A and B are shown apart, each in its own frame.
Chain A
Amino acid sequence: MQSQTIDPAKTELNYHHKAEAAHYEEHPDFRLFGLIMFLVAEGMIFMGLFGAYLAFRATFPVWPPEGTPELELLLPGVNTINLIASSFVIHNADAAIKKNNVRGMQMWFAITAVMGIVFLAGQLYEYYHLEFGLTTNLFASAFYVLTGFHGLHVTIGVLAILAVLVRSLKPGHYTKEKHFGIEAAELYWHFVDVIWIILFGLLYIL
């Protein structure tokens, strides 16, 4: 078609996407796609921190540095299982709303929020009982900054879940066609979970 001069007299209009043309006023909801882009960026912040941690770990002859008390694995391990399980729980909420089951969604979301708060409580308990502080040594600093930054994200996730819960009290706000808030909170929660798994592996296992 490109090689000929277009002769306007011989052409015809032929829209393939008439439906889209009619709805030119509103476009489809791109917010989930936007959230995915945002989570790529967030993921890269954590990748930067993880990279730095690995670099420090490689620099030091002995890691953790001399004198660092060993990290106990029981509480953080339980917390990890808690967080991973909460991802399954929140997924149930999404399944529920896709069947228009608002009550079910609310229940699952509430359970997720509780599990999230338990995670944060567990973190604080661990912080309180740790024998090293922020500036004790390089490992200690990295530990607090990494887990703290992650904990901040968990907190934001819990707040998002609670906000969705509050909004769901308004009847008809979430339906099986329209539930961006639920999907967004779920995606963010999964993100936070995956980051924790990597973090746990790096800080506690490795």
Chain B
Amino acid sequence: MVQAQIQQKANIAAEIDEPGVRKWWEYFTFNTDHKVIGIQYLVTTFIFYCIGGVMADLVRTELRTPEVDFVTPEVYNSLFTLHATIMIFLWIVPAGAGFANYVLPLMIGAKDMAFPRLNALAFWIIPPAGLMLIASLLVGDAPDAGWTSYPPLSLLTGQVGEGIWIMSILLLGTSSILGAINFLVTLIKMRTPGLGFHQLPLFCWAMFATSALVLISTPVLAAGLILLAFDLFAGTTFFNPTGGGDPVVYQHMFWFYSHPAVYIMILPFFGVISEVIPVHSRKPIFGYKAIAYSSLAISFLGLIVWAHHMFTSGIPGWLRMFFMITTMIIAVPTGIKIFSWLATLWGGKLHLERPALLFAIGFVGTFVIGGISGVMLAAVPFDIHVHDTYFVVAHLHYVLFGGSVLGIYAAFYHWFPKMTGRMLNNFWGQVHFALTIIGLNLTFLPMHKLGMMGMNRRIAQYDPKFAFLNEICTYGAYLLAVSTLPFIINVIWSWMYGPKAGNNPWKALTLEWMTASPPAIENFHKPPILATGPYDYGLENTSEGVPLSDTEPVLSASTNSVLRANPDEPYPAIAAETDER
């Protein structure tokens, strides 16, 4: 506990006493404060999550029985197309940007992002793009060629729907890129004095890796969609074999972005877990440098694995092998993270009553399953069997729901006090967690077997022998829908009536906790000081007068004791009394 007190004491000068106060209607305007924008992102994306979730449950309702008896096949195809498109481009990708927007400037001691107006613009692109996409369903011509939208099918199934889809994605991609530019410039240029890269919290490293990926890969999707749009509207034949075009080129361009997209969707939440676990286990993060650099490694490797989505498309054997190897290699930095998080939990003092930690632990336990199925998919001969089956659906939902969504919830529970100045209710958070974990495993675990036994994806009707397992999946999906209710009610009620949080309810050490909750509009009065490292929990367990070396490494005080990440720059020394600073 002494650590948090040191950090807070050092930052009394920087702190602004009055919590930030904003009127409710400011959240509906073109406001350039990163905190307002962050909340705008989070609320908007959560609403789209609910809409995407409704679509998922409609899909699962159709799939409860083997026959097509709930919606027409055309509507069904639109449902799963929109479900995926919404969840990816309107929920997980922008939710990461939302948390980053709120937290990043606070973590590095800045007053705002580098380009506040660009930041607001990036957000405001999202609601119209999303509404346009949903309107397509109401208008009667929704995209229905899957979120992958492969030509020639996507060129044949209705111009309006497909055109809306392309336009919407182009806009959302632009929003993502503008956000990434902001994050990169802010991280590189606006850190408070004394905050070198190796003193950055791991969430910042994660956002750095994510933003680099967004910058490099999203534009290639834009290029592919531009060519697709020309095929759709102008009669060109880039992807149409009747004119000599090649549908596989679209696949390359599409996946060149869409594979990094999945890392864009998980890396921020890897960062979140690296923040949540140390705080709520009261232990430093294990292997700081390894986790930091593994984010960069995943980011880089993520750019050279895309064709593992195309193993059966007709790419040469040597290319299949190359992508298999790069995909397998990505498992290594990911494994490093998982083991580091386990080692962080081990020996700590786990605050299991806090939902943030519950969701973080759930993340580790669930994501590992998705990671394992991912390595299996990397093996070409096995992928040939399970490509485009429910095995892939199982894998992707374990990593995206069990990974990203659980990570998003962990982030919500962790930073809600900072954002609103109120505490969320622990009991309902625990209920939320229990329902979510049970629901997600019920829904997605059977899908592994379904895929391997022969159920392909994107179908409304299936072989009756799969009926029983499909029923289980459907009921799990309904449970997931129900599980969001305790969360929504908790958030709304606590935002208004929850107990006040104070600056640092978790006794954490990163800089966002060194100012009021919610922070005042300018965040800090003066540049804050990092008097201790962001993960230096437990140092009060070493006492003065202890010998430099001791048989029990934890108790000795020398630099060799229990290897740790040494900062590059010495921390600035601080005066004890405020008026001496």
Contacts and interface: CB of A to CB of B under 8 A. Distances in A.
Q: Do A and B come from one complex?
A: yes
Contact of B9 (A8, A12, A46, A134): A8
A34 B117 CA distance: 13
Given A12-B575, A41-B181, A3 B245 contact: no
B536 A14 contact: no
Contact of B570 (A1, A31, A44, A142): A1
Contacts of B219: 41-45, 47-48
A30 B185 contact: yes
A137 B243 contact: yes
Nearest to A59: B246
| Residue among B532, B570, B572 facing the most chain A CB atoms (10 A cut-off) | B572
A189 to B, nearest CB: 20
A38 B181 contact: yes
Identify whether the interface residues of A are mostly helix, strand, loop, or mixed. Answer: helix
A74 B557 CA distance: 76
A135 B233 CA distance: 11
A149 B226 contact: yes
A15 B244 contact: no
A13 B574 contact: yes
A33 B185 contact: yes
A8 B574 contact: yes
A141 B222 contact: no
Interface in B524-581: 526-527, 531-533, 536, 539-540, 542-544, 557-559, 561, 564, 566-567, 570-576, 580-581
B167 interface: no
Contact of A16 (B193, B221, B226, B561): B193
Contacts of B185: 30, 33-34, 37
Interface residues of B, number: 72
B527 A48 contact: no
- Size bracket, chain A contacts: 35 or more
A47 B526 CA distance: 44
A201 B331 CA distance: 40
B420 to A, nearest CB: 26
A65 interface: yes
Interface in A1-40: 1-9, 11-17, 20-21, 24, 27-28, 30-31, 33-34, 37-38, 40
B236 A55 contact: no
A34 to B, nearest CB: 5
Interface stretch (B66-74, B249-257, B262-270, B485-493): B249-257
A51 interface: yes
B437 interface: no
Contacts of A8: 6, 9, 574, 576
Interface in B294-315: none
A14 B236 contact: no
A88 interface: no
A124 interface: no
B218 interface: yes
B387 to A, nearest CB: 22
Nearest to B9: A8
A52 interface: yes
A127 interface: no
A138 interface: yes
Contacts of A48: 219-224, 253, 256
Contact of B236 (A21, A145, A149): A145
28 contacts: A2-B533, A3-B558, A5-B540, A5-B544, A6-B6, A8-B574, A11-B574, A12-B575, A15-B193, A16-B193, A21-B526, A27-B190, A30-B189, A33-B189, A34-B115, A44-B218, A44-B220, A47-B219, A48-B224, A49-B227, A51-B220, A52-B249, A52-B253, A59-B244, A134-B230, A135-B234, A138-B237, A141-B237
